[in-house]
Amino acid sequence: MSELARITWTEGGATHFARWRSESGAPPPKRVQIADDTLTADAAHRLASEGTAMLWRGDFQNARQLLRALARRTDKPKKDKPGAPAASPVDAFNLHRQAQSQRARTLAMLVLEFDGEHRMTLRRAPDVAQACREAYGPGDAAQGNYVVSLRELLGLISAHEWRKKGVEIAALGGRRIHPHYGVFAPVRGEYVRLAADAPLPAALAADSVAFDIGTGTGVLAAVLARRGLARVVATDQDLRALACARENLQRLGLAGQVALQQADLFPEGRALLIVCNPPWVPARPSSPIEHAVYDPGSRMLRGFLHGLAAHLAPGGEGWLILSDLAEHLGLRPRAELLAWVDAAGLQVLGRLAARPQHTKVFDVADALHAARAAEITSLWRLAAKAGLQKTPSGAVHGR
């Protein structure tokens, strides 16, 4: 978000303005209308669909009810034309993404005003200052008021609750990982279990150093440390992720075994085990949190594969943890992935697989149900081809 972004409106015969906050980078709405408890859901939906933001002056809980009513109207299924051919998987994915983007724009039109210290004055409004501080940083009255969508605020509140409660990780003996705002929560337990169960390279007995590339919450670095690795170097380019990982590792008593570095992929040097769980779907993210799911052009995946052989010590393995959802969506065929592996001077030693158990796998109403129901998450055990061990350049590779 640009600090220069402003939202303006007319109220009480005067022009007002405030800073505009949007973690997804959405521009401030051009049209703003004051709204309160007298606004009907149908009228609100019409305004939102036209791109007019509604700055709420009524009861906070009524605003939440209105947002739910807007969602119901936005989510009404559209009837297919009689005789229309079924969409291909990739077309269904693109249509789904377009619908989600339009939905987000519509629901973002209900907005709230805060003062510089993250306080709002609506009736029955909860104290959300801590949730805002975790996402936006410390408050500053001198900076003046700001406006944010109610939908984003509810996301902040949800992230704050996840951070307090944490996610129980069976592979860590039931201990919890606490995700920060903007850092993807490890709710897909199957990929963590794969990293906990995969056989460690035999050479690790002589040199127990591992790299965790794109550590996020630090969950995989923690799993490796719990498995007996004396030293894990965990990298991420996102400062939020590094702060989150640091807090989790300290809470788990593993900070002494894991060194955190800001890097765009690999740290310098070599290791006998290098683990990476890149975003699984080659598509463009529309918000910061989606960077953990969407990897435009498979950029991080290809960067990891391209640089892996140069950073593997002799006898070492790279563990690529990847879902095949992109294959079922028609976005990246298996043959293309294997061609990248081969071109990087790598060979596949083996593959461990697990079926996801998240709720969308069983939701037949989901637009992508067929692909999700067929999805498999795999841990690919990769090694440099014999005689093709690369020499590391000593530089950090770009994602």
Task: Please tell me whether residues 152 and 227 are part of one structural domain.
Answer: no
Task: Please tell me whether residues 184 and 151 are part of one structural domain.
Answer: no
- What is the three-state SS of 300-356? HHHHHHHHHHHHEEEEEEEEEEEECHHHHCCCCCHHHHHHHHHHCCEEEEEEEEECC
**So what's the pLDDT on residue 308?**
98
In a domain, 315, yes or no: yes
Domain, as residue range, for 26: 6-79+86-162
**So what's the pLDDT on residue 25?**
85
Task: Please tell me whether residues 275 and 379 are part of one structural domain.
Answer: yes
In a domain, 1, yes or no: no
Task: Look up the CATH number of the domain holding residue 316.
Answer: 3.40.50.150
In a domain, 392, yes or no: no
DSSP labels, 237-269: S-HHHHHHHHHHHHHTT-TTTEEEEE-SSPPSS
Domains in the chain, number: 2
In a domain, 286, yes or no: yes
Task: Please tell me whether residues 37 and 11 are part of one structural domain.
Answer: yes
10 Å Cβ neighbour count for 353?
Answer: 12
Task: Please tell me whether residues 176 and 149 are part of one structural domain.
Answer: no
Angle between helices 129-136 and 150-165 (to 10 degrees): 90
137, 162, 187 - which closes a domain = 162
* Contacts of 346-350 spanning 24+ positions with Cβ under 8 A: 346/305, 346/308, 346/309, 346/318, 346/382, 346/383, 346/384, 346/385, 347/382, 347/383, 347/384, 347/385, 348/380, 348/381, 348/382, 349/317, 349/381, 349/382, 349/383, 350/381
In a domain, 396, yes or no: no
Task: Please tell me whether residues 139 and 225 are part of one structural domain.
Answer: no
pLDDT tens, per residue, the chain with 399 residues: 346 689 999 999 999 999 999 988 889 999 999 999 999 999 999 999 999 999 999 999 999 999 999 999 998 876 666 666 767 889 888 988 899 899 999 999 999 999 999 999 999 999 999 999 999 999 989 889 999 999 999 999 999 999 999 999 999 999 999 999 999 999 988 999 999 999 999 988 877 899 999 999 999 999 999 999 999 999 999 999 999 999 999 999 999 999 999 999 999 999 999 999 999 898 888 776 677 889 999 999 999 999 999 999 999 999 999 999 999 999 999 999 999 999 999 999 999 999 987 777 777 777 788 888 999 999 999 999 986 555 554 333 333
Task: Please tell me whether residues 116 and 197 are part of one structural domain.
Answer: no
**So what's the pLDDT on residue 272?**
96
**So what's the pLDDT on residue 4?**
61
In a domain, 328, yes or no: yes
103, 138, 162 - which closes a domain = 162
Task: Please tell me whether residues 200 and 327 are part of one structural domain.
Answer: yes
Q: Exposed/middle/buried for 172, CB within 10 Å: 0-12, 13-18, 19+?
A: buried
162, 178, 196 - which closes a domain = 162
CB 107 within 8 A of CB 67: yes
**So what's the pLDDT on residue 209?**
92
Going by their DSSP bridges, the two strands 271-276 and 231-236 should be labelled as unpaired
- Whether this model's pTM surpasses 0.85: yes
